Each structure stands twice: as C-alpha cells, then as structure tokens.
Chains A and B, each alone.
Chain A
C-alpha cells in the first residue's frame, strides 16, 4: 500500500531536549511538507521540500530543522529553541505543481514532560 508513515504516534520531550519526528513516503512524490496543528487552529506550514537536498522555511520555522537526503524521507527536528513545542505534527507529500492534493500521514502528537 502506498502512503505516508509518521512515527512515533506519541512523543514526549523533556525541557531542553531535541527530538526528531520521522516521515517516510512511498508514493514517489517529489514534494514533502511539515505542518503543525494547535487546538482550534488550522494547519500551519513549518518547512517544505520540493526536491532532494533542498528545503524552504514555512510560516513558523523558528525552533525547527529538517533534512531531505532521500526522496522518501523528510525528518523534522524540534529543537530546544522551540518554546512551545506541544502540538500535533503532520507530514504530507504531493506531486510537484500548484493545486496538487497533498497526502497526509496520521500525525505525531508531541508533549512536554
């Protein structure tokens, strides 16, 4: 089955720790994205990548970092510089091109201990 896999589903972080969220897709999509969802809010774009070894900041990139070493993988690191990391994180991928539907994983819920 083609799709996007995010792991883990739940993640706990201590203050001052960096954590990495995994996102893997087998849809052969060029573009990948990371979003954050907070209660009562829409999805806000953190980072996106249109091609391997290249990525751009979204609207709320501060305190996050990404890499795109392989087409299938787009891990997100939540650094200690992110002051309010508790949220639901969603990874997506799409074919390149405006208006192409993005396909989402089932998300990772990050909480601070």
Chain B
C-alpha cells in the first residue's frame, strides 16, 4: 500500500529550463509534505516543505505546489542547473507522527 507515489522514475531537462517533479498521495489527512534531494552515495538533504493549509511555498529557485483535491504535489525548479542533477524524493508524515514515508524517487538530469 503505497501512500506516496512518484510515477516518473527519471526526467531529463535542459539547463535553464523548468524541471517539474510530481508526487501523488492517497491520504488526505497528511499535514505536511516534504521534498528531499539525494546525490549518489550521500544521504538525502531536505529541500523544501509545504503545510497542507497552503497551496504554494517558494524558496529561491524551488517552488512546491499542493493540489489537495487531486492529492498531488509538484516541485518546480527554475531555472534548472547541472548541479540540480540528483534523485528527488517526496515524503509525508503518516498519522502526523515524527516518521516519514518516502516515495520511490525521480532521477533528474540537467544537461547543458
């Protein structure tokens, strides 16, 4: 029973363009949604989060959009840079606990 799904395993974007990473969830009771970025052989690093009472949160080049009616979350990166090439995970706290459930990740490649 996957509570959070990232249906695109990979995405390739040209430098300077927008990258859009998507995440779908099943439980409408989640309070927060988080995005993490992971380079190979390293731990994930927290990128940005959004509360369920908002529909948008922006931090520099990164913006997260939340569509509660569609149970859909997206991360926009603009402009994309080669250093953004990594695996991106969305994550949610089940039962409003300290735990996180992670999606399977989307590998973003930004090419020149």
Contacts and interface: CB of A to CB of B under 8 A. Distances in A.
Given A96-B98, A99-B51, A99-B93, A107 B34 contact: no
Interface residues of A, number: 31
Interface of chain B: mostly helix, strand, loop or mixed = loop
B98 A92 contact: no
A105 B45 CA distance: 9
Interface range on chain B (Cβ under 8 Å from partner): 20 to 34
Interface of chain A: mostly helix, strand, loop or mixed = strand
A99 B32 contact: yes
B9 interface: yes
A102 B102 contact: no
B44 A58 contact: no
B111 interface: no
B44 A104 contact: yes
Contacts of B46: 101-103
A62 B101 CA distance: 18
A45 B102 CA distance: 9
Contacts of B96: 98-99
Contact of B98 (A42, A43, A98): A98
A74 interface: no
Contacts of B104: 40-42
Contacts of A31: 98
B89 A106 contact: no
B93 to A, nearest CB: 5
A4 B87 CA distance: 21
A-B complex: 3 closest residue pairs judged by Cβ atoms: A99-B32, A104-B43, A101-B46
